[in-house]
Structure formats: C-alpha cells, structure tokens
Amino acid sequence: MTNVINGELRRARPATTADPTLLNHVNGTKTAAGEAAAAVRAHPSGDAPVIVSPRRAEHDSGINAQSNGHGGSGRAPSGAVRTAPVAANTWTERHQPARPKQLAARRVVGNGLLSALSAAVFAARPRLVWSSTVVKIHEQVVQQHRSAAAWQTGEAELTIPGVEAAARALASSLSAYADQCEANARLAEATLATEEAVTVYRRLASTHPDIYETDLAQTLHALGTRRAREHRHAAALAATEEAVALRRRLTDEDPALFRSDLAASLRVLALRYDEAGHLDRALAAVREATQAHRVLADEHPRAFQPDLVACLTDLFLRLAADEHRDEALSAIEEAVGVLRSLCAGTASTSHRPELAACLLLLATRLEAIGCHDDALAATEEAATHYRQLARADQEAHRPELATCLLQLATRLEAIGCHDDALAATEEAATHYRQLTGADPDTHRPELATCLYALAIRLGECGRHEGLAMLEEAVGHYRQLAAAHDEFRQPLAAGISLLSIWWDALGRHDDALCAARDAEAVYRQLARTDPETHLPELAAHLYAYAMFLQPNRDAENLPVLQEATALYRQIVQSHPADFTPDLAACLTALAECHDHLGHRADALAAAEESVTVYRHLAGVDPHNCLPHLAAALHRLALRLGLHTRLHPLREAVSIYRQLTETDPQSHAPSLFMCLNTIAACYDELGQPVEADRARAEASTLCEGAENK
C-alpha cells in the first residue's frame, strides 16, 4: 500500500494499532477489519516482498526483542507486525510512475495495518463521514505512543531497553497522524505533528545516525512543505535545506538508494528559494536536480524519464526567463527527445500531452532566435498530437488543441501563409465556441481572443464577415469586463478596432461613438495603471485623429497635441519602445499645424521629428534612414529659400545610399527629392546645379522604364 503525501510517494511507516473499542464503536464489522489486518500482517507491502538493509534489519531485531523481553533473538510476539522504515521514494510535482521492484519496496508498510483497518471499517461510507474518525484513530495512537515514550521528559534515555522502540513508534505515529490531518485540511495540526516528529527523529538520529537520518530527512522534507503552505517561508526554507543536506550525505554513502530522494528535495528547495527571492540559488538547485535525474533515467529509463522531463522543463523556464538562451534551448530539446522516446513504440497516450506541450515551448524558443521554419514545424507537430488526443478525449484535450491552433496560425501568418493561418484560426474558433457553450465562465475569454484574431485575418483577406466576428468578440469582452476589470483593456482594443472598421464602411457616426467609448475606457485604465496603459491611450488618440477625422484639423489638433505630450512622457522611461511612435506623432502634428496655417508650430514639430529620426537612424539605420530622409524633405519644404538647401542635400544623399541597395523601394523618393532640390537651385540662380539634379532624376526615370 502506498500513499502520496506532500508530493512524495512513500511507503507507510512502522505499524501502529488503533483502540479496538473506538473501531467497534464506529462500525461493527469486526470480521472485515480482522481480515484486512491479517492480510497486512501476512504481506505488509501489499505488492512486493519487503527489502530491508541488513544493518537496519539487525538493529530492528535487537530493539524489538529488548522492548518485548525476548532478549536478542529477534523474535516478536505472536501476531505483531515488525517493520523497519527505510528511505522513501519521492515525487515532487506530478504522478509517480511505476518503480522497479527493488526501488518501489524500500519502505516496509507499518501504518498500512491501520490504514487497512480504517478502509475495511469505513469504506462503505462517504469519505466526509468517516475521514474525521480516521484522524481521531491516529490521534489516539499518537497519545498512546507519547505516553510510552517517557524519554521525552528526560525520565529515560535511549539506551534503556524498549525506550528506542517507543520513541520510534511515537515518531512514526506522529507522521501518520500529520498525513491524515493534511488529507482532511487540518493543516495547522499537521504541521505541529510533523514538528514533533522531527524532534523525536532528531533525538533518535543523534544516537543512531546511520539508522534514523533517512526518516529525519523525509520528515524535514514534509515539514518544509507544510510550513510553506502556512506562508512561513523562512522556516520552510530552513527545514528543506536541512533535508537536502542530510540526503546529500546519504546519497554519497548509497547513491542507488537515495539519489531519487535527493533529486526530489532539490526541486522543492528550488521552490523555497523562489519564495525567498534567491533566484540564482533556485536555478542552481534545479540544475543539480536535473543532473541527478539524468543519472536515474540512465539507470531506470521508464521509471525516471518522466521526472527528468519535469526537471528539464522547469530548468528551461528558469533559463529562458534569465536569458540563458542557448542552455534553455538545449534543455527543452532534451525534454522533447526524452518524451519522443517515451511515446515511441507504444500505443499509450500517457506522455503525449507532455510532448505536445514541450513542443510548443520549443517552438517559442526557436521563434525567439529567428528559426521561424523550425518553430513552425514544432508547432505543427504539437497540433498533430493534440488532434489525436482530442479525437480520443475531446473534453480533456480540446482546450489545448484550440490554444495550439492559435499559435500555429500566428506562425503561419509570420511566414506569409495567410490562407493556412486563417484556416487554423477558424478551426480554433469552432473549438472555442463548443467549449464556451459547455462552460462559458471558463472559456469565454479564450473565445473572445480567438474571434478578435479571426476578425483581423478575415479583414486582411478582404472578407467582410470579419466585422461580425469583431462585433461578437466585443460583445463577449463587454460581458467579461462587467465582472472582471482585467478585461477592460481588450474591450477597449476591440472597440477601437471596431471604430476603424465602421469608418471604413462609411458608418462615420457609429465609428466616432465607438472611438469615444474606447477612449473613455483607456483613460480609466491609464488613471489606475499609467505605466501599462498610457501608451495604449496615446496610440488610440493618434489613431483617432489620423483615421477617424482626417479632414477635421481643428478637432484633431488638441488630440494630437495630447498624444504627443503623452509620448514625450513615455519615452523618458521607455525610449527604445516608443521613440518611433513619438516621431510619427510629431510628423502628424506638423501636418495638422500646416493645414491650420500655424507655420511656426509646424516648423517646430518638423524640426523635432528630424531630431528624433536622426537618433533612431543612429541606432537602427536599416529601418530608420528612410524615415529620416522623408523627415528632412518635409522640413525643407517648410524652410525659407536660403535655409532649405542643406536638409535637401542631406535627404538626397541618404536616398542615393538607399537606392543603391534597394532601387525599387527608394528610387521614387530620390526622384521626388531631386526635383525639389532642382527647383531650389533654380530659385537661387544656380542653373548648372539644377540641370545636374534634373539629369539624375531623368536617368532614374529611364532606368525604371527600361526595367
């Protein structure tokens, strides 16, 4: 019989007995209880012969004989259950795969007798009815052992016959009691019992470290987890660090027996370091755990490969967050390789969900380093797995399939496969509709997001049914935002896009109303979290002026002035992200001032835009030099005759440089700029320079016609 407690798969501890009066009072089925007890006595482990180290068996034989007055013969009284706890197998995060017999049977089942009795007596009753009674049974057993262990008060020492056995029984019963309390949500009592068990095991280990350090380490491991659940993070970290130190020493003595325990404690230690903010130490602990699981997986592949995958995934997430890109990629590639080997040659789908999930993580990392084709291939493989899983169990795997399809659509769109991207998005929307119909509270946000993406892709393909998708998405976001503030931002984005779509279809009044609604939401968001939402408000104001009111300069001017002021503020803290937006907004502001006859204001905005684009071109010349040349050309048109020549010459020089590398894109701009500078030379009385500029422009035009 095995129990999963605090993320550990452990064999039950030494035998304890319950008060038969209490058992009979709860249920009169003495026969069933007796049969269960006999079965456990006959074969304590329930599934395999018990394996006990010779040193521990010899020690237990001696203390059992002393405590029962049988000398050193090692014989126990008739009907007694003799057990000896050894190292516990551990498993920290997920299910435990079947271990080899010699590893799975390391702990003798002792409290299995009590568990079997409880199950036989109470099995026919609902869990909530009998679980509290089981706790009471364990509590009574603890009280009996606590009374017997007089050494705690200093009245006896462990060298006195029978005292060590009583102390060990007390510690074991405390641990079992703690497990039952935790299983019934009595967390404070579980922690107190575990702390007392640690005290007892620490005393036992002080006299017999080779015998009891295993139990002390296991109990400290459980104590750390229980303290963490009570948010006692410093105390939890101390207990877990001590457990790791003990298990390191035990692993040095017997790696085959204790390495799995050490690996499990190291993963828990990483969580404790996370809680304390020691991210570097957490990463080091996960690295050590991963290496331990590699050794274990080499020795027992089927048993420990799932543990290795869990460690590698954890390692990948930590490395990716810390920008260790190469090591992160290697970790997730290794995880995918292990999972492929687990899935190969078997019809079972037990590891296929993990494989699909790791493939998506791999795709994300590949995309981040520019390997778009490889990222797409990994995503397509993940989608294939999820489709197979969904066919077998739609309820369990349809959400994962829909999410994967959205990622697939994004990657298909990135490489220009627009039709395939649209098909994947439509398939995802179908799944999300069915999921939302069955569970709207859970899946409505995902459906709204999917419909928003579908609307954009339909619009890019010129299909007007995208408007209906967008309107439906906005409707879902309105319902969500009414109950949850976190959906106000996507609601504002949806309304803003809806206003642009309506304006393009000639529904100008509806478009303006929608834009004002979106602006109101963005202003509320910016007041509560300016760091996050001021850029969104600024972008909305810019789009409002540029697309919804293109010929209303008087109304647009204050909107653009506010957007520009916001971008100036934002750029102070995020220059790399928002400086291009500031430059574009300044360009629009200059044009608006021009149309209103505000020449001085237009010139000031144009000069500032040139300054900003010059800075951007120094950082990213490939993308920003064309914008700098265009800004110089626009600035020159606003300057007087004798001052415009300098920016025009600079603009022509930049356009010549750009035309050499990409004539198709930049030759038209160079042609226009050459004609402008030729007219300037004419006005300045420099006909030779004017003719030279026109000749160059003609050559460009002839070259374009010949091509």
**Do 128 and 30 share a domain, yes or no?**
yes
Domain boundary among 188, 222, 243: 188
pLDDT, average across residues 408-425: 94
Q: Which residue has the tokens 């006999």?
A: 38
Question: According to DSSP H, which parts of 322-351 are helical?
Answer: 325-343
User: Mutual orientation of helices 352-368 and 394-414 as an angle, nearest 10°?
Assistant: 20
pLDDT, average across residues 361-386: 94
Query: Residue 589: CB partners within 8 Å, gap ≥ 6?
Result: 557, 560, 561, 564, 605
**Which band of pLDDT confidence, cut at 50, 70 and 90, is reported for residue 34?**
very low
pLDDT, average across residues 9-36: 36
pLDDT of residue 174: 86
CA pair distance 644, 124, nearest whole angstrom: 95
The DSSP secondary-structure symbol of 185 reads: T
**Which band of pLDDT confidence, cut at 50, 70 and 90, is reported for residue 705?**
low
Kindly state the helix (H) or strand (E) to which residue 10 belongs, with its residue range: strand 8-11
Residue 141 contacts residue 17 (beta carbons within 8 Å): yes
- Long-range contacts, 182-188 (Cβ 8 Å, 24+): 182/5, 182/6, 182/226, 183/5, 183/131, 184/131, 184/132, 184/135, 186/135, 187/226, 187/229, 187/230, 188/230
pLDDT of residue 128: 42
- Residue 26 within any structural domain of the chain: yes
pLDDT of residue 39: 37
- Residue 597 within any structural domain of the chain: no
**Do 12 and 145 share a domain, yes or no?**
yes
pLDDT, average across residues 555-565: 94
Q: CB-based burial of residue 165 (10 Å sphere; 0-12 exposed, 13-18 middle, 19+ buried)? A: buried
Q: Is the pLDDT of residue 583 over 70?
A: yes
Q: Is the pLDDT of residue 623 over 60?
A: yes
CA pair distance 676, 694, nearest whole angstrom: 9
φ, ψ dihedrals at 447, nearest 5°: -65, -45
- Residue 604 within any structural domain of the chain: no
pLDDT, average across residues 250-254: 94
User: Cα dihedral sign for 627, 629, 630, 632?
Assistant: positive
Q: Is the pLDDT of residue 643 over 90?
A: yes
User: What's 702's domain CATH number?
Assistant: 1.25.40
**Do 533 and 628 share a domain, yes or no?**
no
pLDDT of residue 150: 54
pLDDT of residue 135: 64
Instruction: Give the model confidence (pLDDT) of 83-93 as tens digits.
Output: 333 333 333 33
**Which band of pLDDT confidence, cut at 50, 70 and 90, is reported for residue 142?**
low
Higher pLDDT, 575 or 140: 575
Domain boundary among 139, 162, 188: 188
Q: Which residue has the tokens 């089942």?
A: 109
- Residue 103 within any structural domain of the chain: yes
Structural domain including 77 reads 1-82+93-188
Q: Is the pLDDT of residue 291 over 80?
A: yes
Number of other residues whose CB lies within 10 A of the CB of residue 453: 21
- Long-range contacts, 437-443 (Cβ 8 Å, 24+): 443/399
pLDDT, average across residues 357-379: 94
Q: Is the pLDDT of residue 224 over 50?
A: yes
pLDDT of residue 38: 38
CA pair distance 606, 170, nearest whole angstrom: 83
Q: Residue 265: which of 286, 284, 235 has the closest Cα? A: 286
- Residue 673 within any structural domain of the chain: yes
**Do 50 and 155 share a domain, yes or no?**
yes
**Which band of pLDDT confidence, cut at 50, 70 and 90, is reported for residue 345?**
low
Q: To the nearest whole percent, how much of the chain has pLDDT over 90?
A: 63
pLDDT, average across residues 581-603: 95
- Residue 336 within any structural domain of the chain: no
pLDDT of residue 532: 93
pLDDT of residue 289: 96
pLDDT of residue 9: 33
Q: Is the pLDDT of residue 425 over 80?
A: yes
What is the residue-wise DSSP string for 398-455? Answer: HHHHHHHHHHHHHHHHHTT-HHHHHHHHHHHHHHHHHHHHH-HHHHHHHHHHHHHHHH
Q: Is the pLDDT of residue 230 over 50?
A: yes
CA pair distance 214, 87, nearest whole angstrom: 6
pLDDT of residue 99: 38
Q: Is the pLDDT of residue 66 over 90?
A: no
Q: What value does the mean pLDDT of the chain take?
A: 81
Q: Is the pLDDT of residue 103 over 50?
A: no
Q: Is the pLDDT of residue 635 over 70?
A: yes
pLDDT, average across residues 541-557: 84
**Do 19 and 156 share a domain, yes or no?**
yes
- Chain-centre distance of CA 271, in angstroms? 14
Which segment of 122-136, 158-172, 653-667 scores lowest on mean pLDDT? Answer: 122-136
- Residue 502 within any structural domain of the chain: yes
Domain boundary among 158, 188, 218: 188
Classify the phi-psi angles of 79: left when phi > 0, otherwise alpha if psi is within -120 to 50, otherwise beta: left
Q: Is 292 helix (H, G, I), strand (E, B) or coil?
A: helix
Instruction: Give the model confidence (pLDDT) of 501-531 as tens digits.
Output: 998 888 988 999 999 999 999 999 999 999 9
**Which band of pLDDT confidence, cut at 50, 70 and 90, is reported for residue 493?**
very high
Query: Residue 673: CB partners within 8 Å, gap ≥ 6?
Result: 629, 633, 648, 651, 652, 655
**Do 13 and 157 share a domain, yes or no?**
yes
**Which band of pLDDT confidence, cut at 50, 70 and 90, is reported for residue 62?**
low
**Do 510 and 638 share a domain, yes or no?**
no
Task: Please tell me the total count of domains within the chain.
Answer: 3
Which segment of 9-23, 270-284, 428-442 scores lowest on mean pLDDT? Answer: 9-23
pLDDT of residue 553: 86
Between vectors from CA 143 to CA 139 and to CA 147, what angle results, nearest 5°? 170
- Residue 321 within any structural domain of the chain: no
